[in-house]
């Protein structure tokens, strides 16, 4: 493997960004791809659709393809966000259990509290014994 990854990737040509933004806006590359698909579908099916020309069928396909792709992408994003929200709520409710860091922190806090309590308990008992001897 003497060839680096950049050289291999460049041999594939331009990378296209097929992106749908949060409000259903389509990237330029995706719009271009939809236009090519609509042109092909319009050219092939314009008579079956009952349109007067392939150009009118293309316009119809453009509307349908854009709407369906944008709606599907926004719907999938909403489902994804909803599932992440449910996961976050479950973690806050203790559904997934504490992290290792949290466990260690609890252990350290408990140990420090026990040391403090033991130290003061021994002072208390020593102080209590001293009061008895005086009295």
* pLDDT score of 56: 95
Among the listed residues 69, 68, 59, 58, the one whose alpha carbon sits nearest the alpha carbon of residue 18? 69
Q: ∠ at Cα 92 (87, 93), nearest 5°?
A: 95
* pLDDT score of 53: 95
pLDDT averaged per 10 residues in sequence order, the chain, 135 residues: 75 84 89 95 93 95 94 90 80 68 86 82 60 55
- The domains of the chain are located at 10-97, 98-135
* pLDDT score of 95: 57
* pLDDT score of 84: 84
Helix, strand and coil content of the chain, in percent to the nearest 5, comes to 75, 0, 25
* pLDDT score of 37: 96
Among the listed residues 44, 70, 68, 72, the one whose alpha carbon sits nearest the alpha carbon of residue 58? 44
């Amino acid at each position: 493997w003497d060839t680096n990854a950049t050289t291999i990737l460049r041999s594939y040509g331009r990378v296209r960004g097929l992106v749908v933004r949060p409000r259903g806006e389509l990237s330029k590359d995706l719009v271009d791809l939809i236009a090519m698909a609509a042109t092909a579908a319009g050219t092939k099916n314009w008579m079956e659709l009952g349109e007067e020309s392939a150009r009118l069928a293309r316009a119809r396909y453009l509307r349908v393809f854009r709407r369906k792709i944008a709606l599907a992408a926004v719907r999938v994003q909403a489902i994804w966000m909803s599932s992440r929200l449910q996961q976050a709520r479950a973690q806050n409710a203790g559904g997934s259990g504490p992290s290792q860091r949290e466990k260690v922190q609890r252990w350290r806090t408990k140990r420090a509290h026990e040391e403090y309590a033991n130290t003061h308990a021994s002072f208390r008992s020593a102080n209590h014994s001293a009061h008895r001897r005086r009295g």
